[in-house]
Structure 1
């Protein structure tokens, strides 16, 4: 692919984007969007991915043109008063020297981090490396949810948000150009007890309704998160700003989601109330990551953390105002896809003799767990 000519007639250099966490749910969509846009896309990955699903994800991205930067883990025995075996990571996001070398050698312009919730503070060393290099034009830290400076979930979700706040403050103090992506909820049924609701289809037995089911939220498809994140990453209008995703077409409460899904499957399902106390009790169990998800569900569907403030500050902008001609995939369209998968899976199990078809469908429709 050749570079596009700039207004002065010279070839315009393509942005070089490094994506950290490209095998994760959000990171994979970002990597795909970056590749689709024609940008030079680099992904940081283990030299030998121990998880088959991650290895397949890396291979798929490489086949599309992604350039892998590999790092390795090594076991070392450190001797002291008490000998102990420790793991030393050689060449990862935790290694400032390695990250500085990576950013320089590959002439990286933009860094997008999509590390998981348990690894947020790994970005501290990454920020130090970017500051030392001094050539990064934009950094998008691992956010991809709510505005953490406004939301106030109960524990253990609050601890995660405090870590994200710490990362934000360090970025700002370091003077690194940034954009914070607040994309709100994933377009799926919002299970409060599932780590990645988007990996499981909507219910076929009953709905769990949070509170009275009237609090609204914004839902965004993974592909749209990737598409708009990549667009915002080099848009001068998003420099040092918070970008909120608030698609009016996907502004729904959970009762409305339930009704929409019933139309897709052609039948009504029982609605079971999950009270505020139920969600708080699940959060208080402090089981990671399930309790984190419960605390966020409480913040969204009880406290209304996505809708209880306007986007009108000088350092924030709504993504639709930037790209008014770019459509969002609607929840109606997402549910059509989910319903289509059910029909496909029914065809696979309908001929099975001597088995309970309902139970077989549950087995088929539950997405396989990803490696941690």
Structure 2
């Protein structure tokens, strides 16, 4: 635990990175779905292996495979509406599954980056105030609070809507086959178990558990992504403050020049360290962002089609809820990528704004080389295919529209 300090006569606990790591969705605590649990051993953060995550990833892969089979069956039967519904669910299922794989396969990289950030985390009251750590942490906690409630409402609506429709329009006494609209997932299962009223309660509980587990893969991925990128942005902002506070004319004073250049060396080293962390962040998330974009674009496209072809308000609500979630997922990742790009661009501005041209030749050479190296801000990329920023959000919305237009031209939609 971090030591407590007296601030204005009251005790206040210093912020720690464990405060953010310990944030959990209420369902994670109740159901024990702890995919990534941070512990401190001998002063370092460790992440124990999660067997439950591996098991749920297996179920998620089975479900995605069932979606593909169901889509093939629907296309073979020329049932366009069913194929659209299955593909819309498959797109979102792919997003959650690939983000879950990122959590399961990159445990070592996660540990390396968390420990690298923990190594430079401010542990004094003065430094935390200067870096505004509490402000950043409070924003993240507030964001997680609203996100958890938003996803709880969305997922609950998505999960319980089929059951409500089943109780209202089908009933347990009916011998008619259970249609796909009464299931949470439109995936295929063998032996026709999804079509029987007698097995519906068991299949529904299985789908409820799978939907909850998959949504928590998304929550945990988002939590790790936001914590890491927000910490990086905080350190870049702090470096910009330090550069703005430098007294450049001291470099002309023989009694102070050594201290100024030592300070400059420390800032350059700090900038290089942060750039290395940013590269690690990019390598850690590029594949999961790429697969998420592909799945979300597919799902958005087919959800829009289903909304336009909906026959009642209940269907419109059922297709609109995941649509808003998907648009928000792309927007949120793009917003954080844009923020990282903005704070790294400010480093170049802070260096250029200094009066380096009135300082010593040695100081001028240092700053000119640094200006040149920071001329291009760091951008979150996906295998160098595109930048993850607000332009990317715009491009994804255009891509979904173009995909919709293509499907209409080919006659796959009405």
Output the TM-score relative to the length of structure 1. 0.25
Larger RCO (CA under 8 A, 6+ residues apart): 2
Q: Which has the larger radius of gyration?
A: 2
Higher relative strand content? 1
Output the TM-score relative to the length of structure 2. 0.23
